[in-house]
Structure 1
């Protein structure tokens, strides 16, 4: 499954699709999941800056938006970070609010089981063309080729976690492998931070057989 970007032609409909998918996934869960999904939808709708791809809203303002106290905001934002639905880009402090981005890859991965219940048109917009039963999964980008350790890791992710591969790993460029430490270069500091925080352990697990025991990710 490739990630449908929320920019460019058709982006507006995909944003609505994402909000619908979050709502459907929340409604399929218990009361706590439903509240969390609703709060995220309201927060995205009211305060997410799509042009800059960021959320920079203070806890007091979020509390008013959700009709809760700031302690509840703190707890719920922590849950959203733990799920990977929001990614902390800049810690708040000294008169400035924390800055977040959407964990788009994780959101799509977590809501994907509920897309069919919404309708085939949404599935078509959020994914590539459907894969016929009995055929291998089709990923609409070049497959990693080669026998070096990093390429073998990419091949593993492309087969088992194509959303993560297409969104976060495919853009990384490997540097030298020295003493079991692999150097990776990301297109931005945020990209490097996300991979380090959310994917480093999985990359190391996939690379252990190839002699990779440590990572250095720079952006």
Structure 2
């Protein structure tokens, strides 16, 4: 907004317009103070601009048709190589399990789960005291400071009331 001497509302309105036209694709939502990230949707730009290619010139039209009409190679990534093993039917069907609490957190905010909660290791839950192992002191402090509320909510839904969380590094 500062660079083009317009207000933030104008920028937000134009980004919304480009998103509605599917010219921009949001790659990371802007939440809780984080800046959103976008990328151009080249396929949509090509589709919308194709009728104008002959107006630029026959050579441009031929080059663009050659470039965007041909089959582009598709890179196939086998996600099974990167996925965590599926939980067995007994683990997911038993009410009140740590795995189900983690699945709930994953559904609510996948990015946050991957970054923070997936690193947690369940140790025990007795008398309302949840004991977890963290990979580092930094992760422990961050979860205590910023993410304790969603963690407690998910765990209480599965395991019962939580009076205290203890971390072990």
TM-score scaled by length of structure 1: 0.38
TM-score scaled by length of structure 2: 0.48
